[in-house]
C-alpha cells in the first residue's frame, strides 16, 4: 500500500494489548479504526483514546459468533466506510493435557483462535474482492504456530494451542497466494512474548465447564505470565511492525530473535525427511 491515510481498519481483540497497539499505530497514519472486543470498559477507553487521533468506533463482539460478526461488519462500514484493512487479532492462550482431552476446550480454543480468524475473513474479504480496491489482512498466530519445541517452556504451549496457531499460519500462507491477484495482501503475525495481560485474560475467560488444567499447563501459564512482564516486547513495537508489514506487504511478522534456532531446526528436520529419489 502506498498510503494508509483515509482507509478504514477493523481490529479484533482491539481494546487492549497487541490489538490496541496495532489500532494506535494505524490511527497515527490517518486510518479510521474500528476495534472489537468482549470487554465493555476497555472498549470505551480504547474508543475514547483513538478518537483523539482519528475516526474511531468500538463494538462488543465474540469472534465465534458468525451472525453477530456480519452485523458488526455492516455497522462498521455504515459508520466508518469500506473496510480495507482487517486485523484478526483476538486469541486465547489455553490447552489441556492429552490425558484430559475434551471437546469443550477444543471447541473453545479453536473457536476463538481459528474460527474467529475465519469469521473475520468471511465477513470482509468478499466485500474487498467485489470492490476491487485492494487491501490487507493481518492474522495473529503465534511463534507457537511455527514450532513446538523452543528453549523456553512458553513455546511448548500444549497441543491444542499449537494446533490452533498452526492453522492460522497455514490459512494465512495459502490465502496470501489466492488473494494476490485481487491486490489484497496477507500477513501472519507470529509474536513471541509481548508485555500484555493475555495470560490473565485466558484464566478469566475460560469456560466454567472446561476440564481442569494439568500441572504442566498451569506451569506453562505461570512461566508465560512472568516472562511477558520481565522480557516481553512492548505492544507498541508490535504495532509498528504490523503497520510496516501492511505498507510493504510482508508475509511474516515475528518479534523474538530467539525464534530463529527452533524455526531452523524444524526446517532442517523437514528437509532431512525429503526422499533423495522418488519413492516407488
**Hey, which residues are catalytic here?**
161
Cβ–Cβ contacts within 10 Å for residue 192, how many?
Answer: 23
Beta bridge partners of 32: 8
Q: Sign of the C-alpha dihedral, residues 100, 106, 108, 110?
A: positive
Cell of 119: 469469521
Cell of 34: 474500528
Burial (Cβ within 10 Å: 0-12, 13-18, ≥19) of residue 138 = buried
* Sheet (strand 135-140) strand order: 56-60, 32-37, 8-12, 83-88, 135-140, 184-190, 252-254
Amino acid at each position: 500500500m502506498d498510503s494508509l491515510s483515509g482507509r478504514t481498519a477493523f481490529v479484533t481483540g482491539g481494546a487492549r494489548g497487541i490489538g490496541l497497539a496495532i489500532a494506535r499505530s494505524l490511527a497515527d497514519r490517518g486510518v479510521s479504526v474500528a476495534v472489537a472486543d468482549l470487554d465493555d470498559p476497555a472498549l470505551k477507553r480504547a474508543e475514547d483514546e483513538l478518537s483523539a487521533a482519528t475516526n474511531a468506533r468500538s463494538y462488543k463482539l465474540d469472534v465465534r459468533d458468525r451472525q453477530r460478526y456480519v452485523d458488526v461488519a455492516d455497522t462498521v462500514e455504515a459508520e466508518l466506510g469500506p473496510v480495507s484493512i482487517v486485523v484478526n487479532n483476538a486469541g486465547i492462550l489455553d490447552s489441556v493435557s492429552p490425558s484430559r482431552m475434551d471437546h469443550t476446550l477444543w471447541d473453545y480454543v479453536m473457536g476463538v483462535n481459528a474460527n474467529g480468524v475465519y469469521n473475520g475473513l468471511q465477513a470482509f474479504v468478499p466485500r474487498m474482492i467485489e470492490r476491487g480496491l485492494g487491501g490487507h489482512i493481518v492474522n495473529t498466530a503465534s511463534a507457537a504456530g511455527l514450532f513446538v519445541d523452543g528453549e523456553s517452556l512458553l513455546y511448548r504451549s500444549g497441543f491444542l494451542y499449537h494446533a490452533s496457531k498452526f492453522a492460522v499460519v497455514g490459512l494465512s500462507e495459502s490465502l496470501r497466494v489466492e488473494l494476490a491477484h485481487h491486490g489484497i495482501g496477507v500477513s501472519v503475525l507470529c509474536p513471541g512474548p509481548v508485555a500484555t495481560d493475555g495470560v490473565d485474560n485466558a484464566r478469566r475467560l475460560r469456560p466454567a465447564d472446561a476440564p481442569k488444567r494439568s500441572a504442566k499447563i498451569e506451569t506453562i501459564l505461570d512461566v508465560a505470565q512472568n516472562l511477558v512482564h520481565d522480557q516481553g516486547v512492548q505492544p507498541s513495537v508490535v504495532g509498528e511492525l504490523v503497520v510496516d508489514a501492511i505498507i510493504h506487504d510482508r508475509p511474516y511478522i515475528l518479534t523474538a530473535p530467539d525464534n530463529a534456532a527452533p524455526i531452523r531446526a524444524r526446517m532442517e528436520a523437514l528437509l532431512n525427511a525429503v526422499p533423495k529419489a522418488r519413492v516407488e
